[in-house]
Amino acid sequence: MFKIPDRVADLFGDHAIRIEVWRALTAAGQTQGYEEKYLEDGPFGEVVRITYGRLKNFDMAALPDDQRELVAGAKALSHRLVTAGHAIDLASKADQRANEDWPQLLAFVQQKCAARMGLPGHEGWERCFTYIVGRAEAFVQPTRSAEDRDAGYAVLRHFASFFRRDAGFEQGWLIEVPDIG
């Protein structure tokens, strides 16, 4: 059994993401100078939790377009990294494993997520989708370890569950992840 931050860090932790988060928090005026080192070196799971907590109610209207896109991307990315960690944890506790239907699950998620990019109210979705789903796709491949495959599959199920009422959704993919607000 693993802790949520550990698997999120293992699968999605990346120095470039830490820099992106720092830049977004700075652009939004949501950092204190002393936090830079923690955001750079602290536990990745905590970094994404802090980022989402600071950005979830932030009004981006006053930001220039390039900063608004950066902040929206970091907000969506941090939100879904936290909930992806919950999906991994829930699947692990229920001893749910990657199924052989992963190519169909992946195709469903890619199709549904791609259709939402650029829609009003889905700001940041493209950044979230390309990074998290792209990494989950890499981890669900048969050449990966069983633990990586299980985690990648749980994340794909999590994203598929957003579209549970759409045609093509398989009930076996449903994973109920609590909303973090």
- Retrieve residue 152's tokens: 């990648």
- pLDDT of amino acid 6: 62
Residue 129: pLDDT band (50, 70, 90) is confident
- Retrieve residue 49's tokens: 């939790």
Q: How far apart are CA 16 and CA 22, in angstroms?
A: 10
Question: Model's pTM, two decimal places?
Answer: 0.90
Q: How does pLDDT run across 71-108, given as a tens digit for each residue? A: 999 999 999 999 999 999 999 999 999 999 999 999 99
pLDDT at residue 4 is higher than 60: no
Among 21-35, 46-60, 139-153, whose mean pLDDT is lowest?
21-35
Distances in Å between the Cα of 64 and the Cα atoms of 24, 27, 41, 61, 94 are: 12, 10, 29, 8, 45
Mean pLDDT, residues 7-16? 84
- pLDDT of amino acid 54: 93
